[in-house]
């Protein structure tokens, strides 16, 4: 035991009258965890309190900035987005029972999006298990293999049954948080253990390296040489994903050196400048089908270099015509990714960090005999309409105003919610640099951006703007949380009185009027003010820019409630065609929001 792990009381006098410090009890498990998490770079903890985790909550409050949310899933969504803007791990804390289960959707989103999040929960103490305790959490009441062991939800999970486990658990946490990519862990701590004294000093975590399975491998030079030979011999295209987000500079350098068109997944929007002459467009949900299709046909790539994307349905719709004649060269830090989405395609897999790979590839790139002329690409983005049309606000006109005021007029981070808001924003907005646009395409939960915008604003210490539907705003709003802490978050609500992606999708599937996706009108401006935020309601297009400017200027939370034209079709044809195909119908090939390659 050292004084590092002891708390000092005030000085007392000894027999001779001299003052000496009196050492109190050693740190408790909860206090030790909070101290170690701060050492590992955690600054914020988001969650909802409960009696079973009172000691843990108190300990976190002394070491971290603890923010109380209105729902555990909102806290988890916010934690994921705080990580992406800051690069720091974030804690999510919950009580037993429903506290744990409420957080799971947000936790699963954090896992599949690649965030670094540590979930701390409470667990029933051993003498109380199986006796019907209030919100009992144990093997009697919950699936332990799913929630308290590593698997689909968590990279690492453990029930901390004794204080003696703490050093080992902390080393595992340190290794996971230092590895490349995402890491989501779950520590569940019985109430009795939270307050138990640590029997030994906290371990030093400075010398803990990334865990063995995930250490960043050095780039295989033979693989790089093979890629350079294959790609430099014939035309190729580049398909960049979110896993390449730290490699914007070498990505641009390679594209310009090789004259290769670049297409990006929705999550990688802005990674390659969208005003660049080599930008072909966004693929998948809300993407730019005509321009990407035209670029692929005109350029006729032999291969596609895939960088840091799973090529899942939101990115590719698994369209077989996306496979070029020579197949894919697929670079990803996860060796399980290449070949998964397109098992029938010829794939040369490279396990590497995308940035490290691109640096090595540029070094190995042969000097060209003559500069290759860049391909002539169609502009991917449709033109923005002029504002001022009568009637309800057109969604594309709203995007035009957001482009001018928010994207071009500020440095705010923009999040787009699942649903039609996702497709409008992805299709119409243009970003010239990475890190300013976030969508969730894996779990794709409604409410992710509605709550996540609070974490994004907290994590970056500045403005974050969420473009959301009214359905999502009713599901999982954390406006009141933002009001308590005066978080500079803004919500732009597409208010059309229905789950409009579902409504329009049913019509596209020839089932219009079969099911009801509408709900009673909501005045989100009044609702925001009732929860402590500032707000404005917009009913005309000529009021959009002033309202958005107010939202940007506000130091605290601000809601812009926009009454939109519900009948304007969203650019989501690819999703509807995918559903048609999944139901056994023949998917129509025209107008899809994904590129189509010639069969040759």
**193-244 pLDDT, tens per residue?**
999 999 988 888 887 776 544 444 579 999 999 999 999 999 999 999 999 9
Whether the pTM exceeds 0.85: the reply is yes
Based on the fold, state whether residues 327 and 418 are members of the same structural domain: no
267 in a structural domain: yes
User: Using CA atoms, how far apart are residues 498 and 509, in angstroms rounded to an integer?
Assistant: 18
Whether the CB-CB separation of 112 and 442 falls below 8 Å is answered with: yes
242 in a structural domain: yes
Helix then strand then coil, in percent of the chain rounded to 5, is 40, 20, 45
Domain end position, chosen among 321, 347, 364: 364
**Measured in whole angstroms, how far is the alpha carbon of residue 538 from the centre of its chain?**
29
Predicted confidence at residue 213, as pLDDT, reads 45
104 in a structural domain: yes
Strand partners, 495: 563
pLDDT band at residue 588 using 50, 70 and 90 as cut-offs: very low
Predicted confidence at residue 8, as pLDDT, reads 40
Place of tokens 């371990």: 203
Whether the CB-CB separation of 117 and 154 falls below 8 Å is answered with: no
R_g of the chain computed on alpha carbons:
26
Based on the fold, state whether residues 181 and 257 are members of the same structural domain: no
Q: What is the mean pLDDT of residues 308-313?
A: 95
Domain limits for position 74: 3-194
Residue-wise pLDDT for 262-298, tens only, equals: 999 999 999 999 999 999 999 999 999 888 888 888 8
**Measured in whole angstroms, how far is the alpha carbon of residue 597 from the centre of its chain?**
30
DSSP string, 111-145: HHHT-EEEEEEEE--GGGTTS--TT--STTTS-HH
Predicted confidence at residue 41, as pLDDT, reads 96
Predicted confidence at residue 589, as pLDDT, reads 40
Predicted confidence at residue 6, as pLDDT, reads 39
Strand partners, 349: 330
Based on the fold, state whether residues 334 and 237 are members of the same structural domain: yes
Predicted confidence at residue 596, as pLDDT, reads 32
Based on the fold, state whether residues 518 and 468 are members of the same structural domain: yes
User: Using CA atoms, how far apart are residues 163 and 104, in angstroms rounded to an integer?
Assistant: 26
Based on the fold, state whether residues 22 and 125 are members of the same structural domain: yes
Those residues with Cβ within 8 angstroms of residue 15's Cβ, 6 or more apart along the chain or in another chain: none
Which H or E element spans position 563?
strand 558-563
User: Using CA atoms, how far apart are residues 31 and 34, in angstroms rounded to an integer?
Assistant: 5
170 in a structural domain: yes
- Mean of per-residue pLDDT scores for the chain: 88
Would you say residue 527 has pLDDT above 60? yes
Based on the fold, state whether residues 84 and 19 are members of the same structural domain: yes
Residue positions counted in the chain: 600
User: Using CA atoms, how far apart are residues 547 and 148, in angstroms rounded to an integer?
Assistant: 46
pLDDT band at residue 600 using 50, 70 and 90 as cut-offs: very low
Q: What is the mean pLDDT of residues 536-540?
A: 98
Based on the fold, state whether residues 165 and 253 are members of the same structural domain: no
Place of tokens 């009696």: 51
Residue-wise pLDDT for 541-568, tens only, equals: 999 999 999 999 999 999 999 999 988 8
Residue-wise pLDDT for 386-428, tens only, equals: 887 788 999 999 999 999 999 999 999 999 999 999 999 999 9
Total count of domains within the chain: 3
Based on the fold, state whether residues 227 and 110 are members of the same structural domain: no
> CA nearest 433: which of 412, 448, 404, 416?
412
> Exposed, middle or buried by CB within 10 Å (0-12, 13-18, 19+), for 343?
exposed
Would you say residue 310 has pLDDT above 90? yes
User: Using CA atoms, how far apart are residues 220 and 283, in angstroms rounded to an integer?
Assistant: 29
Predicted confidence at residue 14, as pLDDT, reads 53
Question: For residue 339, what is the domain's CATH number?
Answer: 3.40.50.1220
Based on the fold, state whether residues 423 and 561 are members of the same structural domain: yes
Based on the fold, state whether residues 187 and 135 are members of the same structural domain: yes
Predicted confidence at residue 590, as pLDDT, reads 40
202 in a structural domain: no
Task: Look at residue 539 and give its three-state secondary structure.
Answer: coil
> Exposed, middle or buried by CB within 10 Å (0-12, 13-18, 19+), for 243?
buried
212 in a structural domain: no
Based on the fold, state whether residues 170 and 239 are members of the same structural domain: no
Which H or E element spans position 262?
strand 262-264
User: Using CA atoms, how far apart are residues 285 and 402, in angstroms rounded to an integer?
Assistant: 20
Based on the fold, state whether residues 170 and 231 are members of the same structural domain: no
Residue-wise pLDDT for 572-587, tens only, equals: 765 555 555 555 554 4
575 in a structural domain: no
203 in a structural domain: no
Query: Can you count the helices (H) and strands (E) in the chain?
Result: 21, 22
Residue-wise pLDDT for 54-94, tens only, equals: 999 999 999 999 999 999 999 999 999 999 999 999 999 99
Residue-wise pLDDT for 149-178, tens only, equals: 999 999 999 999 999 999 999 999 999 999
Predicted confidence at residue 18, as pLDDT, reads 56
User: Using CA atoms, how far apart are residues 241 and 287, in angstroms rounded to an integer?
Assistant: 13
Question: For residue 184, what is the domain's CATH number?
Answer: 3.40.50.970
């Amino acid at each position: 035991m050292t004084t590092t792990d002891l708390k000092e009381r005030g000085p007392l006098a000894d027999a001779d009258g001299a003052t000496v410090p009196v050492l109190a009890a050693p740190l408790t498990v909860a206090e030790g965890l909070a101290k170690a998490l701060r050492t590992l770079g955690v600054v914020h903890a988001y969650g909802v309190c409960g009696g079973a985790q009172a000691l843990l909550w108190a300990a976190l409050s002394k070491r971290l900035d603890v923010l109380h949310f209105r729902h555990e899933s909102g806290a988890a969504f916010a934690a994921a987005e705080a990580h992406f803007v800051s690069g720091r791990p974030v804690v999510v804390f919950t009580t037993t029972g429903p506290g744990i289960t409420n957080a799971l959707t947000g936790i699963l989103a954090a896992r599949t999006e690649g965030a670094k999040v540590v979930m701390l929960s409470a667990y029933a103490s051993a003498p109380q298990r199986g006796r019907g305790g209030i919100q009992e959490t144990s093997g009697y009441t919950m699936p332990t293999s799913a929630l308290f062991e590593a698997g689909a939800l968590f990279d690492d999970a453990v029930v901390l049954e004794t204080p003696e486990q703490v050093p080992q658990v902390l080393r595992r946490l340190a290794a996971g948080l230092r590895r490349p990519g995402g890491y989501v862990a779950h520590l569940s701590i019985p109430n009795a253990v939270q307050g138990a004294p640590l029997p030994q000093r906290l371990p030093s975590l400075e010398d803990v390296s990334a865990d063995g399975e995930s250490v960043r491998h050095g780039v295989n030079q033979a693989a790089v040489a093979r890629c350079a030979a294959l790609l430099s011999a014939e035309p190729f295209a580049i398909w960049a994903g979110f896993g390449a987000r730290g490699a914007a500079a070498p990505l641009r350098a390679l594209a310009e050196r090789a004259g290769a068109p670049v297409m990006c997944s929705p999550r990688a929007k802005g990674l390659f400048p969208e005003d660049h002459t080599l930008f072909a467009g966004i693929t998948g949900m809300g993407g730019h089908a005509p321009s990407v299709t035209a670029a692929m046909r005109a350029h006729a790539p032999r291969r596609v270099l895939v960088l840091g994307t799973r090529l899942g349905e939101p990115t590719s719709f698994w369209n077989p015509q996306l496979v070029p004649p020579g197949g894919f060269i697929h670079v990803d830090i996860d060796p399980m990714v290449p070949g998964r989405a397109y098992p029938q395609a010829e794939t040369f897999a490279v396990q590497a960090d995308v940035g490290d790979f691109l640096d090595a590839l540029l070094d190995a790139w042969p000097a060209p005999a003559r500069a290759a002329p860049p391909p002539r690409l169609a502009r991917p983005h449709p033109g923005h309409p002029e504002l001022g049309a009568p009637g309800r606000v057109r969604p594309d006109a709203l995007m035009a105003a957001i482009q001018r005021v928010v994207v071009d007029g500020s440095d705010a981070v923009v999040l787009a919610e699942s649903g039609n808001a996702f497709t409008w924003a992805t299709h119409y907005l243009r970003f010239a640099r990475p890190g300013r646009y976030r969508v969730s395409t894996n779990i794709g939960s409604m409410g992710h951006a509605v709550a996540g915008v609070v974490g994004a604003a907290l994590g970056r210490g500045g403005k974050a703007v969420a473009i959301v539907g009214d359905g999502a705003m009713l599901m999982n709003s954390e406006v009141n949380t933002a009001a308590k802490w005066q978080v500079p978050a803004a919500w732009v609500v597409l208010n059309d009185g229905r789950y409009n992606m579902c409504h329009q999708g049913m019509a596209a599937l020839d089932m219009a009027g079969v099911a009801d996706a509408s709900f009673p009108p909501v005045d989100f401006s009044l609702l925001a003010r009732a929860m402590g935020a500032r707000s404005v309601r917009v009913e005309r297009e000529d009021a959009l820019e002033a309202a958005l400017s107010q939202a940007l200027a506000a130091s605290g939370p601000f809601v812009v409630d926009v009454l939109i034209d519900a009948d304007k079709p969203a650019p989501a044809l690819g999703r509807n065609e995918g559903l048609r195909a999944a139901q056994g119908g023949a998917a129509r090939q025209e107008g899809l929001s994904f590129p189509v390659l010639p069969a040759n």
